[in-house]
Amino acid sequence: MHIEVITDHSRFLALGSVWNKLLERSGIDHPFLTHEWISIWWDCFAESATPYILTVMSGADIIAIAPLMINRARLYGCPIRRLQAIVNVYTERFDLLLGDRPQEVCELMWAYLKDHADQWDVLELRQLPGNSQTLTHLPGLIERDGYRVGRWSANEAPYVAIRQPWETYYQSLKKAHRSNVRNHTRQLERHGPVTLDIVAIDDRWEADMEDALKLEAVSWKVDEGTSLRSRQESALFYRRMLQRAAQLGWLHMCFLKVGPVRIAVRISLLYRNKLFMLKSGYNETYHRYSPGQVLTECLLREAWVKKWDEVDFLGEDERWKLSWATDRRPHSWLFVFPNRVKSRLLHGMKFRVIPSIRQSNLFPTVRRTMLKFGVPIHGD
């Protein structure tokens, strides 16, 4: 076995079928590491980054892939070369594609990264799920060689595991929650029949997408800058990704209708018999009826009828998600720092100094001062 590094975008694009077959052999059951997701992401968000994709070769065959990129950034005001996962806030989950021999290929990948540590100041792997093979095999190898390793606990994404009859699951929900959703559904029915409208790519694709974007852009998302329309590149990414997902049969864009009017939307991907809820929104005129919750119940009923394995809400463990969830999936960020003075100092800042300051009464003052000088407290 040996390592080949892909730093050319065209070579990455040529990997499509090999990449996705390896994804399946690696047991990765979400769409965020598919070649389609990564390639469209790259076109929309990569900016000045360079691909740094490690491929583990066994003869002429690729048996593992580390989807990485390298760019220049700042960490606590210090210029760094950051080797990182090909992700941003729109990528809910990440991992290395380790194939059938995770321990061996992790050893080979780490040996290569260690031998070329003069090319990077920090290795950052975001959004690794709790059952990640990367988390199982990689940190021990790194610590064995005396490199600094840090791990952050990130979000715990709520999900519904479909493993019992619908009525058993439904009765397990809080009585007050069930009652609220029933009441809101009845109130909506006074305005017209409440139905689901599930769309895929068709002659009305642009109109359907425009309706979804309008509903997703609720006022609080616009105010916080988290709406898809808040950034040109995020709107472009979702348009392109969802159109490609529709062609592949993954798209599940679902509107809640009252009579002929679409009042809420849930944009999801149905991948390997699991539904991943990406974005949602609603017409604020109907806010008092909790249309998002009514839509969620309709979608969950459909999940049981279609015999899907799971409905993943993704993101943070918000209260409305927890009212439906059966489980939560933890995620971590893994940081690796080479054995150099600057990198050791940065590790100390991130995992000793900043956590200590956060626990002190001085934190608000320090935070304001750092932000005043344009230095994010998280070092992102």
Domains of the chain: 2-155+331-372 (3.40.630.30), 163-308 (3.40.630.30)
Quote the pLDDT of residue 106: 97
Mean pLDDT of 62-66: 97
Q: Any residues with CB less than 8 A from the CB of 132 and at least 6 apart, and which?
A: 95, 332
- ∠ at Cα 134 (130, 137), nearest 5°? 110
| DSSP three-state, residue 135 | helix
The yes-or-no verdict on residue 6 having pLDDT over 90 is: yes
- ∠ at Cα 82 (128, 70), nearest 5°? 90
How many other CB atoms are found less than 10 A from the CB of residue 285?
10
Q: What's the whole-number average pLDDT of the chain? A: 90
Residues 92, 154 contacting (CB under 8 angstroms): no
Query: pLDDT tens digits for 196-239?
Result: 998 866 667 788 888 888 888 875 666 566 667 677 888 899 98
Quote the pLDDT of residue 226: 64
Q: Give the predicted TM-score (pTM) of the model.
A: 0.90
Quote the pLDDT of residue 379: 44
- Helix (H) or strand (E) holding 165, with range, is none
Q: Which neighbouring-strand residues pair with 75? A: 78
User: Rounded CA gap, 120 and 239, in Å?
Assistant: 34
How many CA within 13 A on the CB side of residue 92? 20
The CA-atom distances, in angstroms, between 185 and each of 194, 289, 292, 294, 359 are 8, 7, 11, 6, 45
Mean pLDDT of 118-128: 96
Quote the pLDDT of residue 380: 42
Quote the pLDDT of residue 76: 83
Quote the pLDDT of residue 266: 95
Query: pLDDT tens digits for 334-360?
Result: 999 998 988 888 888 888 887 777 777
Place of tokens 């909506």: 188
Quote the pLDDT of residue 213: 84
The yes-or-no verdict on residue 373 having pLDDT over 80 is: no
| DSSP three-state, residue 361 | coil
Residues 47, 2 contacting (CB under 8 angstroms): no
Place of tokens 């600057």: 342
Q: Any residues with CB less than 8 A from the CB of 75 and at least 6 apart, and which?
A: 82, 121, 122, 346, 349, 350, 379
User: Rounded CA gap, 331 and 149, in Å?
Assistant: 16
User: Rounded CA gap, 63 and 57, in Å?
Assistant: 6
Indicate the pLDDT class of residue 368, thresholds 50, 70 and 90. Answer: low
Place of tokens 């290929």: 105
